[in-house]
């Protein structure tokens, strides 16, 4: 049940912008995704009146996050996925096989043809890139994967999110929330985005200012790189 009154009473209000049509949001989920990449934007987008969110997997049913500790459920498989106005591809270690999965890439390309917005969080950008959607465009992704974007013809940009045409790519994990709020502001109105932000009490105040490699101590950056490299070796 939504705790945000917008979801139920917004239609009766005259102080917030409303839309008369349904916006269909599709979030691709898969084994090895990072949970917050999908759930962060979901918890923003689900509160917009008239927006319907569908989780799509290769097949309907459960998928496991990258550490196997959390499971999400795909409402439908690729073959039964509804048309999407907004497509979101999250990241995680599971994107590596997806960049070589012809079935998924064909579906992403076909879905993109009908979207108003095609978006990604973290390494989900690499899936968009592998589908050929970021050729000649600026994009961002998780900070340790920025150097992978040129492989797909994209220009890497260090930013919380990057907008190029209808394509909107977010940096790592928590950046998906910021990107989703920006998306709501662009698609509906800034006032709607502000209301959703207040409704989910998104007012980040982390105890440390180390959320990007530009701010973190060099030794910490190298330590995190080393841990990530170990994980990559395990996946190879």
Specify the pLDDT at position 72. Answer: 97
Task: Name the one residue in this structure whose structure tokens are 């992403």.
Answer: 108
Asked if residue 222 and residue 179 are part of one domain, the reply reads: no
pLDDT score at 8:
47
In a domain, 232, yes or no: yes
Average pLDDT of adjacent 10-residue blocks, the chain of 236 residues: 49 56 96 98 97 98 94 98 98 97 98 98 98 98 98 98 98 97 98 98 97 96 92 56
Which pLDDT belongs to residue 126? 98
CA dihedral 130, 96, 224, 219 (to 10 degrees): -40
Summary mean pLDDT of the chain: 92
- Identify whether residues 173 and 226 lie together within a single domain: no
Catalytic residue among 28, 29, 122, 179: 122
Asked whether residue 57 falls in the same domain as residue 35, the answer is yes
Distance of alpha carbon 38 from alpha carbon 90, whole angstroms: 5
pLDDT of residue 16: 61
pLDDT at position 21 = 81
Q: Look up residue 60 and give its two tokens.
A: 């309907």
Say if residue 142 is in the same domain as residue 175. Answer: yes
Q: Are residues 233 and 156 in the same domain?
A: no
- The structural domain count of the chain equals 2
Same domain, 51 and 134: yes
Task: Give Cβ neighbours of residue 35 (< 8 Å, ≥ 6 apart).
Answer: 65, 70, 72
For 28, the domain range is 6-204
Both 172 and 66 in a single domain? yes
Q: Would you call 101 a catalytic residue per the annotation?
A: no
Output the pLDDT for position 231: 73
Q: Are residues 185 and 229 in the same domain?
A: no
Say how far apart CA 108 and CA 124 lie, in whole Å.
Answer: 11
Which residue carries 């698609």 as its tokens? 187
What pLDDT score does 229 carry? Answer: 86
Q: What is the pTM of this model?
A: 0.91
């Amino acid at each position: 049940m939504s705790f945000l009154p917008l979801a139920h009473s917004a239609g009766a209000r005259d102080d917030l912008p409303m839309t008369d049509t349904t916006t269909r949001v599709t979030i691709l989920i898969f084994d090895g995704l990072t949970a917050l990449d999908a759930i962060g934007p979901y918890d923003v987008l689900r509160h917009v009146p008239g927006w319907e969110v569908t989780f799509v997997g290769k097949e309907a049913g459960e998928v496991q996050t990258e550490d196997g500790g959390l499971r999400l459920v795909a409402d439908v498989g690729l073959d039964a996925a509804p048309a999407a106005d907004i497509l979101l591809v999250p990241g995680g270690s599971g994107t590596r096989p997806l960049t070589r999965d012809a079935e998924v890439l064909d579906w992403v390309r076909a879905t993109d043809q009908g979207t108003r917005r095609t978006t990604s969080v973290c390494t989900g950008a690499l899936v968009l890139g592998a589908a050929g959607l970021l050729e000649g465009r600026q994009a961002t992704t998780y900070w340790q994967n920025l150097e992978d974007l040129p492989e797909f013809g994209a220009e890497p940009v260090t930013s919380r999110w990057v907008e190029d045409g209808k394509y909107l790519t977010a940096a790592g994990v928590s950046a998906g929330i910021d990107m989703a709020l920006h998306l709501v502001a662009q698609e509906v109105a800034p006032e709607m985005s502000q209301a959703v932000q207040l409704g989910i009490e998104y007012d980040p105040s982390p105890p440390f200012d180390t959320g990007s490699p530009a701010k973190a101590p060099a030794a910490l950056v190298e330590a995190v790189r080393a841990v990530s490299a170990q994980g990559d070796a395990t996946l190879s």
